[in-house]
Amino acid sequence: MPLVHWLPKNRVRYAAIYACLTAGIYPPAAPPNQARRELAEMEYRYSVNETFYRSIGTVSSTFAAYPFEVELVPHSRIARAPLGPLRPIADWGVRTFRTATLRTQRLDSEKAIEWRSVL
């Protein structure tokens, strides 16, 4: 359901979910033959109680504090696409509106000191 997660966790979000269902936009795992109102309520409750969004910087900083090395991995479709100078914009769009992948690696204690001194 596009952009629903950007809305406040209140009745506006519920109305957007219901509007998506009315327009025929269903979540991939929607139970067959479920009433629209029940499905809207279920999707709304899930979006409020089970989804949490953090910026890439917040997540990276949390890993780095424990100490992990963190690398942002480009989305596979973007990495293969011939985008030229548009690549940074495409990367930002995918990270912001679709998905972000972080590759993490636990640092050994010697490298951890070095890593922390950089921060």
CB-CB neighbours of 21 under 10 Å: 19
Closest CA to 17 of 32, 50, 34, 39: 39
Interval 9-18: pLDDT, tens: 999 999 999 9
Q: Which residues contact 13 (CB under 8 A, 6 or more apart)?
A: 4, 7, 44, 47, 48
- Is pLDDT at 97 greater than 70 in this prediction? no
Q: CA neighbours within 13 Å on the CB side: how many for 96? A: 7
Closest CA to 67 of 8, 118, 3, 23: 118
User: What's residue 111's pLDDT?
Assistant: 60
User: What's residue 65's pLDDT?
Assistant: 87
Interval 100-117: pLDDT, tens: 777 888 887 566 544 444
Determine the Cα–Cα distance for residues 50 and 54; give it in Å rounded to an integer. Answer: 13
> In which band, very low, low, confident or very high, does the pLDDT at 41 lie, cut at 50, 70 and 90?
very high
> In which band, very low, low, confident or very high, does the pLDDT at 82 lie, cut at 50, 70 and 90?
confident
**Which residue type, as a one-letter code, is found at position 89?**
I
Mean pLDDT within 28-48: 91
DSSP 8-state assignment for residue 73? E
